[in-house]
Structure 1
């Protein structure tokens, strides 16, 4: 599986319709996107806790209403060709891409948003989204437990930061009681780790591959999917596609 990191963010401004459209054009299997809550508790698609880096605004996401957020320009920071892109809501993304591509939804900074588990679960379990392929992921295992109480049918992924200690068998045993995916920093991935994840009946989508060499290594280690800024990277080299 090829998972487009914040959309095709190597080519377009991340977490925008331009990035998601490009990911579909390049044949990605999933969109990876980030969600947070606006001041009026609307679920919006943006990575950072502040709008500063990826828009012409300044300040924390939760200090803006949805109406205020959607007035911001969110494309020209990447390139002038993308002037006019906006910060989308998750509802807009689901409506626009439902049935076209899977979605790997990362909840950012859940501790900032006490109601986000309930809000997101309600949104994703509404009738209109039942047939979409959706995975919810986070670095916060406790948040995933909380979300699962509200939406037990939605599969979960645990993101794992790089640590020199790696991932232990005890951790995998604990995590496997809740999640279906272990999505580690790519530097943690070995063939042995992938075997251990598969032994626990989980899958793994490591993050974030940005070059062909990195992809080759992950494919060699038999991962189930790759989170990448460049969804077309494997298609440029047949030797990668045919790697065992």
Structure 2
């Protein structure tokens, strides 16, 4: 169903497209992607347009929106005092000027940290955003792919996320603008029970290269998306995922060559640090 809706929306938008077809940077023969293929591909800005701005900051999300990605992907965790924040690692060490585990710090402590200088001086002073800040700023403007990061560390995080979405009427049936995903598949079962009208996805690493049709059927009982590492994606896997009734958004493309390979494999969407490698879609009304 989602694939049909995506293709229909792409067809309606075709008249607005004026950009060139994508081609490999080295001009490799046979690696040209048509305008129609670009329109049909769902473009997901990974942690925002994180190739251009510090990941999981409002600047990265704004840049993803400006580049006309279909979705911004965000990572959600919980602070010591039970507040939801958007950050990838379970510690603040890599992407801020602080140290410590996210779950051991209060929101006030995390908000004092600089989350931008590591990427470049132009982003000095960027803060770790809260989940509610991202929802308030971008709901209705761009799709939001919400990853629950290590939910096993944060009991009750699924309910807190559900409450924030319900409070904003973002839990309605057929809301294609919100997708929830995680590597923790039990967490996704819990989230699906709390938010039955929203789409959910399972994230999978390289150890799922030999996933069986039976396993895919089990995922499809509660998940709408099967989102694996791009390194395990094959034409056969894409076909099996589609046969199970799910869409497939591999992660994380960081080069034009990688994006072109995923186009060739007929995936439904590409999670990328560089939205321009997938194509900047026209603004949707």
Q: 2:197 aligned with 1:153, yes or no?
A: yes
Distance in 1, matches of 2:89 and 2:241, equals 29
In the TM superposition, what is the alpha-carbon distance from 1:146 to its structure 2 partner? 1.4
Distance in 2, matches of 1:129 and 1:143, equals 19
Match for 1:207 among 251, 274, 283? Answer: 251
TM value normalised by structure 2: 0.80
Match for 2:115 among 43, 57, 74? Answer: 74
Asked if 2 retains the 8 angstrom alpha-carbon contact of 1:204 and 1:223, the reply is yes
SS where residue 51 of structure 1 aligns?
Answer: coil
* Matched ranges for 1:96-175 at <5 A: 96-130=137-171, 133-163=177-207, 165-175=209-219
User: Which segments of structure 1 move beyond 4 Å, counting only runs of 4 or more?
Assistant: none
In the TM superposition, what is the alpha-carbon distance from 1:164 to its structure 2 partner? 7.0
Work out which of the two has the higher radius of gyration on C-alpha atoms and give 1 or 2: 2
SS where residue 59 of structure 1 aligns?
Answer: coil
Asked if 2 retains the 8 angstrom alpha-carbon contact of 1:94 and 1:129, the reply is no
Distance in 1, matches of 2:127 and 2:150, equals 21
In the TM superposition, what is the alpha-carbon distance from 1:192 to its structure 2 partner? 1.4
In the TM superposition, what is the alpha-carbon distance from 1:163 to its structure 2 partner? 2.1
Q: 2:82 aligned with 1:33, yes or no?
A: no
**Which residue does the alignment assign to 2:228?**
184
Q: 2:241 aligned with 1:197, yes or no?
A: yes
SS where residue 193 of structure 1 aligns?
Answer: helix
Q: 2:266 aligned with 1:222, yes or no?
A: yes
**Which residue does the alignment assign to 1:239?**
none
In the TM superposition, what is the alpha-carbon distance from 1:156 to its structure 2 partner? 0.4
* Matched ranges for 1:224-243 at <5 A: 224-235=268-279
Match for 2:97 among 52, 56, 59? Answer: 56
Asked if 1 retains the 8 angstrom alpha-carbon contact of 2:171 and 2:197, the reply is no
**Which residue does the alignment assign to 1:242?**
none
Q: Which runs of 5+ in 1 are unaligned?
A: 237-244
Asked if 2 retains the 8 angstrom alpha-carbon contact of 1:5 and 1:208, the reply is yes
In the TM superposition, what is the alpha-carbon distance from 1:128 to its structure 2 partner? 4.1
Asked if 1 retains the 8 angstrom alpha-carbon contact of 2:56 and 2:87, the reply is yes
Asked if 1 retains the 8 angstrom alpha-carbon contact of 2:205 and 2:229, the reply is yes
Distance in 2, matches of 1:105 and 1:52, equals 22
Distance in 2, matches of 1:235 and 1:181, equals 21
SS where residue 252 of structure 2 aligns?
Answer: coil
In the TM superposition, what is the alpha-carbon distance from 1:130 to its structure 2 partner? 4.3
Superposed CA RMSD in Å reads: 1.4
In the TM superposition, what is the alpha-carbon distance from 1:170 to its structure 2 partner? 1.4
Match for 1:14 among 21, 45, 55? Answer: 55
Aligned residues: 236
Q: Are the structure 2 counterparts of residues 130 and 109 from structure 1 closer, same or farther at C-alpha, using a change threshold of 3 Å? A: closer
Asked if 2 retains the 8 angstrom alpha-carbon contact of 1:51 and 1:58, the reply is yes
